[in-house]
């Protein structure tokens, strides 16, 4: 097996050594020796040593109650440090003979390939300038690391960078080591898990912190690279206001099943975003005012500032005063509803125009080199983030709108909206949308739930258009779901168009997405209210929970094909919004490959997708890593637009229909139809405990009930903790196994070789199966599952082995990921630290479930630390 890069191994070793020094200093040599005994036992056990397994088990069994938490913390901390080293390694300084990483080459190589394929340079530059990618940052109920700890981890990465210079003196090396030692000690002495649930506002602040500490630096750096690649390939420059990637957020706007997200919370988050944006621009403008002390200026600039020896500073100081006024107003408005004064910035042009005037003046006067420095970076940020930092989406369940309208129609004496059929609903909604009078009298006093829906609509109506993204309707299933939101927004006083976006989530809803949008686009007056593309959100999480990933992936693909065709027939632009999670079971996986595997025509210069929780941290938490991932997004969207993948052959579609049918039947036979499944799930995994832990602002369940009541994230998370990874693969064992038995190996191989959609699904399946571990899952069963349910656990592990055999049969490998030895080695190294955490977690769960006891104090804290450590070790949670 290929070894991990020596420099990465050195970094991991150094951080582990410094953590060991911290453990000795805090807990003594005996405790450190015990940790080493556990680690060595786990390593030996992984290599097949029965004595190692016995040593590991006995050492963990002998731990005193007060040792459980520090042992869990030690292994959790090591896995986090390994993540930091691995993340930094992806962006470390290259030796002269090393090739640039794929992420740095992907865009220049694509541009050259497109030119070679016959694309004209001007057309290519024009298309690149028109690309619109929006990454929607969402809160994560399983993101457990505290913000203060994440900042320490970032500082550790910065010190790894500081030591990555061959010309450091011995004294400088020692200084770096001391700073690392101090940071690791600070991290160790900081509680890694929050004591109370974060509020939605806390989650929004976490998202703002990612922008402040990483994306604010990454975006201008990314755009410099894009500009350089475009110039090298075509001789043309990226337009000054081009913003191929922008950011939106659900944090503080996603009220689907989260009673903690209220209209007041949404208003507060919108104001906090304005405050943060003004504050960040103030720092930029302060720097620019200090730097731009030049006297030469264009007539246009002088006309604006008058006679002044330092015209740039004069103009920038005027902008600075307006930014200060904006920040002060936003802060005051958080406390009470105060009107904005004339100095407050409302339109992004007010921010951009003085900056552009300085930029053009400097170029006009022969100082382009100066203009292309910090001023250009500030302009790029203003084009990307604007005055509102991120566009806030609003999300609500369709049922809440139905209930609100039901109350309203009942109050008006019109009957019960909830009982009307679809045609009656549509007729009523269209009539009211065209009616100029208000729907409700001013004195109407709605019930609490309806009042909250209407209050949210009033917040939307009062907010500037540029502060908001889309209004997403979860569990949408009919045209009336869209019209209902439009009517409620009209009633709240919304005077401008807003994208109202149906989210199709279940298998049936995905199959029905095309007909719903077809009818919607054909309704009288609807097109006049559209004002832009028809946005449709494709749900990955709930569709996979409903049907398994085999059937849901194919349903998502077919739904997109249908939507592309329907919008073309209606001559309406389509914007698909992909609700992808961080894990394979929720549509996750490498974004570049995923975008290139979408149906032809579905990525037409526009792409919108969610980025979730800990994946935001892994993909965008460090500026250089963020640049890499932004490059991947841009290159994939540009390629999918200009060189879309081929249409699937009829034989591929027919086989995919069979695979989906077999996968659906096998998945539901277990999850829906097996009488013991829910009981087994609750015993074998930490699902019940996850609901009690302070993981996120949103409840783990939509309502009381079985698996169907669970949110997709904790459903995936619970199986990830036990390493069975069941939702990501269940169904594929039957789908692929049956196809191979029917003699369809050659057809499967041609699909994998020539159809990006199928290849990406198999690659993601192979990755998740490589992380799955039947022995670890068996360990949880032995400790936690009652005797009558253990045969079901054995059956599920047998299905896992069938899934592995089917993938190996298809790929003709002797081992999963045999083609990616570095990934295999990375998983192998982590297992040494993960195995003790799994054993420890199973023991903690068993203790917390004793009749006389519930997890509390150190026991609950140790359990949560084990959850965090396993999530960190696997690099994904829900």
Q: Return all residues near 848 (Cβ < 8 A) that are at least 6 apart.
A: 689, 854, 855, 859, 860, 863
Token pair 């309707």 in the structure block, residue: 473
Instruction: Find the catalytic residue in 34, 140, 152, 592.
Output: 140
> Residue 387 is encoded by which pair of tokens?
């005055």
Angle at 618 between CA 108 and CA 214, to 5 degrees: 75
User: Can you spell out the DSSP letters for 65-88?
Assistant: GGGHHHHHHHHHHHHHHHHHHHHH
Q: Is 308 an annotated catalytic residue?
A: no
Q: Is 152 an annotated catalytic residue?
A: no
Instruction: Find the catalytic residue in 545, 578, 628, 771.
Output: 545
Q: Return all residues near 436 (Cβ < 8 A) that are at least 6 apart.
A: none
d(CA 217, CA 221): 7
CB 368 within 8 A of CB 296: no
Cα dihedral 790/792/798/799 (nearest 10): -150
The phi, psi pair for 597, rounded to 5°, reads -100, 5
- The DSSP 8-state label assigned to residue 215 in this structure reads I
Is the dihedral angle over the CA atoms 659, 660, 666, 670 positive or is it negative? positive
Calculate the CA 45 to chain-centre distance: 35
Is the dihedral angle over the CA atoms 584, 588, 590, 594 positive or is it negative? positive
Encode 225-245 in three state secondary structure. Answer: HHHHHHHHHHCCCCCCCCCCE
User: Can you spell out the DSSP letters for 170-208?
Assistant: HHHHHHHHHHHHHHHHHHHTS-SB-SSPPPHHHHHHHHH
d(CA 405, CA 486): 12
The phi, psi pair for 500, rounded to 5°, reads -110, 120
**Which residues are catalytically annotated?**
140, 545
């Amino acid at each position: 097996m290929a070894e991990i890069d020596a420099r990465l191994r050195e970094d991991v070793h150094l951080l582990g050594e410094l953590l060991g020094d911290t453990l000795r200093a805090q807990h003594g040599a005996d405790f450190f020796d015990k940790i080493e005994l556990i680690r060595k036992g786990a390593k030996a056990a992984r290599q097949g040593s029965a004595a190692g397994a016995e040593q590991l088990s006995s050492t963990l069994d002998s731990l005193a109650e007060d040792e459980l938490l520090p042992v869990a913390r030690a292994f959790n901390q090591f896995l986090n440090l390994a993540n930091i080293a691995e993340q930094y390694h992806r962006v470390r300084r290259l030796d002269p003979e090393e090739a640039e990483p794929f992420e740095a080459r992907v865009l220049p190589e694509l541009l050259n390939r497109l030119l070679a394929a016959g694309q004209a340079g001007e057309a290519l530059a024009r298309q690149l300038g028109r690309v619109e990618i929006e990454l929607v940052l969402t809160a994560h109920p399983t993101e457990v690391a505290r913000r203060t700890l994440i900042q320490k981890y970032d500082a550790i990465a910065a010190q790894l960078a500081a030591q990555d210079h061959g010309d450091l003196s011995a004294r400088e090396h020692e200084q770096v080591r001391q700073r690392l030692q101090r940071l690791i000690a600070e991290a160790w002495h900081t509680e890694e898990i929050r004591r109370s649930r974060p509020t939605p506002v806390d989650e929004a602040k976490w998202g703002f912190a990612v922008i402040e500490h990483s994306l604010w630096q990454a975006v201008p750096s990314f755009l410099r690279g894009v500009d350089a690649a475009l110039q090298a390939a075509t001789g043309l420059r990226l337009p000054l206001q081009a913003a191929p990637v922008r950011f939106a957020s659900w944090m503080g706007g996603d009220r689907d099943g989260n009673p903690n997200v209220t209209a007041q919370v949404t208003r507060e988050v919108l104001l906090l975003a304005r405050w943060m944006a003004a504050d960040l621009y103030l720092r930029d403008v302060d720097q620019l005012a200090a730097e731009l002390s030049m006297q030469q200026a264009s007539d246009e600039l002088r006309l604006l500032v008058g006679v002044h020896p330092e015209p740039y500073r004069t103009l920038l100081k005027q902008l600075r005063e307006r930014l200060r006024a904006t920040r002060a107003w936003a802060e005051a408005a958080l406390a009470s509803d105060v009107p904005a004064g004339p100095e407050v910035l409302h339109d992004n042009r007010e921010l951009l125009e003085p900056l552009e005037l300085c930029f053009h003046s400097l170029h006009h006067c022969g100082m382009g080199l100066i203009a292309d420095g910090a001023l250009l970076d500030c302009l790029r940020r203003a084009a990307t983030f604007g005055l509102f930092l991120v566009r806030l989406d609003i999300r609500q369940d369709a049922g809440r709108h139905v209930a609100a309208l039901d109350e309203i129609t009942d109050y008006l004496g019109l009957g019960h909206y909830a009982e009307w059929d679809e045609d009656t609903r549509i007729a009523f909604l269209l009539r009211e949308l065209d009616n100029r009078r208000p729907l409700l009298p001013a004195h109407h006093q709605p019930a609490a739930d309806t009042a909250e829906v209407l209050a949210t609509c009033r917040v939307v109506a009062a907010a500037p258009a540029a502060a908001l993204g889309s209004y997403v309707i979860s569990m949408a299933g009919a045209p009336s779901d869209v019209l209902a939101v439009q009517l409620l927004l009209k009633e709240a006083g919304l005077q401008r168009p807003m994208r109202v976006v149906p989210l199709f989530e279940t298998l049936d809803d995905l199959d029905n997405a095309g007909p719903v949008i077809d009818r919607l686009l054909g309704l009288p007056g609807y097109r006049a209210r559209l004002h832009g593309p028809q946005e449709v959100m494709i749900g990955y999480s709930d569709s996979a929970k409903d049907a398994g990933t085999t059937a849901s992936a194919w349903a998502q693909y077919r739904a997109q094909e249908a939507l592309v065709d329907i919008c073309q027939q209606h001559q309406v632009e389509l914007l698909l919004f992909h609700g992808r999670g961080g894990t394979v079971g929720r549509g996750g996986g490498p974004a570049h490959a995923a975008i290139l595997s979408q149906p032809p025509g579905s990525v037409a210069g526009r792409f919108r997708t969610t980025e979730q929780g800990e994946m935001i941290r892994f993909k965008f938490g460090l500026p250089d890593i963020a640049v890499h991932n932004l490059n991947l997004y841009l290159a994939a969207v540009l390629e999918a637009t200009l060189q879309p993948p081929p249409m699937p052959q009829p034989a591929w579609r027919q086989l995919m229909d069979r695979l989906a049918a077999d996968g659906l039947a096998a998945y539901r036979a277990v999850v829906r139809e097996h009488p013991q499944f829910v009981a087994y799930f609750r015993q074998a995994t930490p699902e019940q405990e996850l609901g009690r832990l302070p993981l996120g602002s949103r409840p783990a369940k939509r309502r009381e009930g079985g698996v169907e009541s669970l949110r997709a994230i904790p459903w995936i998370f619970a199986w990830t903790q036990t390493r069975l990874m069941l939702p990501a693969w269940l169904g594929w064992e039957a789908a692929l196994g049956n196809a191979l038995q029917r003699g369809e190996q050659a057809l499967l191989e041609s699909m994998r070789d020539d159809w990006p959609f199928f290849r990406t699904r198999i690659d993601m399946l192979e990755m998740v199966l490589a992380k799955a571990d039947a022995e670890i899952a068996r360990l949880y069963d032995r400790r936690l599952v009652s005797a009558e349910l253990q045969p079901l656990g054995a059956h599920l592990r047998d299905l896992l082995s069938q899934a592995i055999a089917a993938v190996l049969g298809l790929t003709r490998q002797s081992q999963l990921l045999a083609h990616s030895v570095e990934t295999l080695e990375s998983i192998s190294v982590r297992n040494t630290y993960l195995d003790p955490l799994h054993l420890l977690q199973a023991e903690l769960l068993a203790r917390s479930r004793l009749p006389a006891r519930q997890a509390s104090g150190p026991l609950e804290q140790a359990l949560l630390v084990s959850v965090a450590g396993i999530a960190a070790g696997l690099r994904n949670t829900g």
